[in-house]
Chain A
């Protein structure tokens, strides 16, 4: 059974909320530009999606979880344009990809830079394991069955990383490591309400490093830590007029944690990170969901203990999607 229109868009928003911020590590010091998640709605044959994101940096959590401000007079931001697409391969299988391009703008009292480059590409394969039975009735236990989607993802380090021939951290738009992710998305709708839970576990692959910020170094191996992320979102759909267009408002909470990496064979105790962010999104879908547009805001919670060793940012997104049935 095909899930009701609009709910899968909610799922995409939820998954993006839980995964996309994790791809970035901060234009303020170490680049970002990850592509985040892309997914076809159930019943769609293909889709194309274009999004524009503006990420504004505003301080960071230190290793102890205390929130610290950026230097006075600094202004740090990244703009990302992400082109994503998806194609259904079989009734329950789809493949999707996202290609970002990032512009970094960093201003300090003594230094100002503007750089740009491609971000890291995300490719994923999704299997729709379970479809929910009904969004309109709740009379027996089977009606409680949610839709379940399982994904495998690969992040390809096409971005500009510290290990490329770049002189400065301000040039960085990617992390420089391949990453494999396993994702799970569970969502349940009842009438106008939708609840979704998403989770992902990612493993970075080790790589040799022989250059850092343009400087040749004695070669060593490095691996970023494993990362876990989760998201929770609640959406409410409202039909607009009599044509069947809909507006969906979504509130979400996203959590990300990355363990310490391995540098030269030893655990790097300074590299673990954590981030918690709240989000709001508003999406508009045409009657048959062929067209959808969305506005969203993700806000890192600037309170002690809600993150660790990571920038606190606000991410504003404007996106448009075209689906083919």
Chain B
């Protein structure tokens, strides 16, 4: 079929741009690097390092480790106030937050330039009031550490990362159910 040749050539050229071969030939190989137990890091099984961010509703600083010392665990959801973010947060609000008392739920805004702007974004998106504590991750420093745009991280009260990935409700339930 003569017409197919240019299309295949175009596909091959396109595939060469941006490393999209992974989508053309997706792999199920587990390529996660080995995790050193007890070391700080973003991966499941590692210890979550502390951070301090501003609570956009009160202006008070919030430390992860301080929050964990008084809770069974913490959920960090990285939001940019987009449709997917809204869907994930809504699902958590109705399903996860009531089912797991003693767990702190944080929404980290990683796209706003200040706590005041994050507060305005929260209100415009209809998330005020909310069961989430909204934190301003100005400069996306925490988001970049976890590489988790629009994703969820679950950390236990023992600081061990239980989940870091896409919002997959059974996986979220498993991670929250494993908290001490």
Contact = CB atoms under 8 A, between A and B. Distances in A.
Most chain A CB atoms below 10 A, which of B3, B23, B125, B164: B23
A21 interface: no
A72 interface: yes
B87 A271 contact: yes
Interface in B64-94: 80-88, 90-91
Interface stretch (B49-57, B97-105, B111-119): B111-119
A111 B22 CA distance: 28
A226 interface: no
B41 to A, nearest CB: 12
A208 B26 contact: yes
Interface of B: 1-4, 6-7, 10-11, 14-15, 17-20, 22-24, 26-33, 42, 44, 80-88, 90-91, 110-114, 117, 120-121, 124-126, 138-140, 144, 147-151, 164-171
Interface residues of A, number: 77
Contacts of A161: 20, 23
A210 interface: yes
A266 B169 contact: yes
A29 B83 contact: yes
8 contacts: A60-B86, A159-B23, A168-B149, A174-B20, A176-B26, A212-B166, A217-B165, A270-B91
Contact of B14 (A61, A121, A163, A269): A121
A157 B24 contact: yes
A14 interface: no
Contacts of B4: 95
Nearest to A214: B147
B20 A157 contact: yes
Nearest to A271: B87
Contacts of A268: 167-169
B117 A176 contact: no
Contacts of A164: 18-20, 22-23
A30 B18 contact: no
A311 B83 contact: yes
B26 A207 contact: yes
Contacts of A64: 90
A167 B20 contact: no
Given A157-B20, A270-B84, A121 B10 contact: yes
B138 A209 contact: no
A95 B151 CA distance: 40
Given A85-B6, A168-B149, A212-B166, A62 B81 contact: no
A208 B165 contact: no
Given A71-B125, A99-B10, A157-B24, 19 more contacts: A26-B82, A29-B80, A29-B84, A66-B126, A68-B86, A72-B117, A72-B120, A72-B121, A163-B22, A169-B80, A169-B150, A210-B31, A212-B166, A215-B42, A217-B166, A218-B30, A263-B166, A268-B167, A309-B84
User: Shortest 8 CB-CB distances between A and B: which pairs?
Assistant: A110-B113, A29-B82, A208-B28, A71-B121, A118-B14, A270-B87, A109-B113, A157-B23
Contacts of B86: 60, 62-63, 68, 309
A309 B84 CA distance: 7
